[in-house]
Amino acid sequence: MTQKVSLTRYLVEQQRVDGLIPAQLRLLLEVVARACKRISFAVNKGELGDVMGAAETQNVQGEVQKKLDIIANEVLIEANEWGGHLAAMASEEMEGIYVVPNRYPQGEYLLLFDPLDGSSNIDVNVSIGTIFSVLKKPDDHPGVQEADFLQAGAKQVAAGYCIYGPQTTLVLTVGDGVAMFTLDREQGSFVLTQENLRVPEDTKEFAINMSNMRHWDAPVKRYIDECLAGKDGPRGKDFNMRWIASMVADVHRILMRGGVFMYPWDKREPEKPGKLRLMYEANPMSWLVEQAGGAATNGKERILDIEPTKLHQRVSVILGSKNEVERVTGYHAEK
Ligand code: AHM
Ligand code: MG
């Protein structure tokens, strides 16, 4: 019988054999996975638990919070604050950073997360997820402040997401490719189910919210028009479209079978660079996609090279199969 490899064993081996991750980072990732397990169980309860519907609050982005947004945020904080591996956390659901309280030891890592991505899908039983990114706190000063989080995505030391869909699946990179773990509910543990995920360089599938078409910039419109023209158009092939409205689910599909995902800048709110957030949505997803052989840009530059200036900064996102991302980015350059 082939032995199953648990997430714990995988991380221990990454630490021991490859020396890729220090013990504190291994602990951190185990704790994040444990929190995701708890969130998965809460998500699964649905109408049977007090988890559905809107809360009476708004987050820093002015969006109405769902009960599960708040629950997931609390679960992640409670799980991570006492272990001694973190200095502070930042979340889509909190305006400022959350510094680990004095009663616990402070570690050297910073954790950022979107506790529940795809919130509009919670109440309709469609896949949602948790996205996370780990940075190292700069060691040139004591204490921790918001500015410590403002590091380019290329500095991440770990990134991943957990998707709560037909299966609960954790997808992770520590800079050595992308590995996937499926939650075994009977055992209560994540089990390694795929290593070295690869995003095919070409694709016939795109993901974009087409209802915003009239607001797009010319290069994005050109790219989609060419896809829509199919076999008889300049691309010479028919394309398929998918849009789940959970970035986690759209990116997961791309990691599994390729495709291109776009949430570009548009004219609805021209002062905003895009809808998605750089630090805890675009950066971790871009690193995962790059680690799997894909690409990610904002139309002009590699997302991982963007130097952030604000914790909740937004960004235009084009990611997925390399040749398609390069094509859309090329159209922006031509413009
Ligand atoms: P959220 O973090 O508040 O859930 O918002 C992010 C989500 C992404 O998961 C998804 O790609 C996008 O918003 C969908 O936006 P739209 O409803 O405009 O299609
Ligand atoms: Mg989100």
Instruction: Kindly report the CATH number assigned to the domain that includes residue 234.
Output: 3.40.190.80
Same domain, 164 and 227: no
Q: Is 209 in the pocket of ligand 1 (CB under 6 A)?
A: yes
How does pLDDT run across 10-40, given as a tens digit for each residue? 999 999 887 889 999 999 999 999 999 999 9
Nearest CA to ligand 1 atom 16: 245
Assigned domain for 140 exists = yes
Residue-number span of the structural domain to which 170 is assigned: 7-194
CATH code of the domain in which 123 resides: 3.30.540.10
> Which pair of structure tokens corresponds to residue 325?
């991302």
Predicted TM-score (pTM) of the model is 0.96
> Which pair of structure tokens corresponds to residue 154?
């290329």
Among residues 194, 224, 251, the one where a domain terminates is 194
Dihedral of alpha carbons 132, 288, 21, 31, sign: positive
H-assigned helices in the chain:
7-16, 23-45, 67-80, 218-228, 247-257, 283-291, 322-334
CA of 125 from ligand 1 middle (Å) equals 15
Give bridge partners of residue 179 from the DSSP assignment.
172
Assigned domain for 171 exists = yes
Assigned domain for 105 exists = yes
Q: Is 81 in the pocket of ligand 1 (CB under 6 A)?
A: no
Same domain, 110 and 178: yes
Assigned domain for 199 exists = no
Same domain, 172 and 230: no
Find where tokens 């039983």 sit.
125
Nearest CA to ligand 1 atom 14: 245
| E strand spans, 137-234 | 158-164, 168-173, 178-184, 189-194, 205-207
Q: Is 286 in the pocket of ligand 1 (CB under 6 A)?
A: no
**In 3-state terms, the chain is what percent helix, strand and coil (to 5)?**
35, 25, 40
pLDDT at 1: 57
Find where tokens 């064993």 sit.
9
Ligand 1, from 246, 285, 318: best to mutate by most atoms within 8 Å of Cβ? 246
Same domain, 172 and 69: yes
Among all bound ligands, the one having the nearest atom to the CA of 209 is 1
Same domain, 224 and 109: no
C-alpha–C-alpha distance, residues 236 and 207, integer Å: 19
Q: Is 114 in the pocket of ligand 1 (CB under 6 A)?
A: yes
Same domain, 159 and 213: no
Same domain, 145 and 280: no
Q: With a cut of 70, which residues of the chain have pLDDT below it?
A: 1
How many domains, in total, are found in the chain? 2
Which residue pairs, CB below 8 angstroms and at least 24 apart, start in 184-191?
184/4, 188/37, 189/6, 189/7, 189/8, 190/6, 190/7, 190/33, 190/37, 191/4, 191/5, 191/6, 191/7
Angle at 179 between CA 281 and CA 21, to 5 degrees: 85
Q: Is 246 in the pocket of ligand 1 (CB under 6 A)?
A: yes
Dihedral of alpha carbons 179, 183, 189, 193, sign: negative
Radius of gyration of the chain (CA): 19
Ligand 1, from 215, 247, 285: best to mutate by most atoms within 8 Å of Cβ? 247
Same domain, 49 and 158: yes
Atom of ligand 1 lying closest to residue 121 CA: 4
Nearest in space to 248 (alpha carbons), one of 285, 293, 212, 287: 285
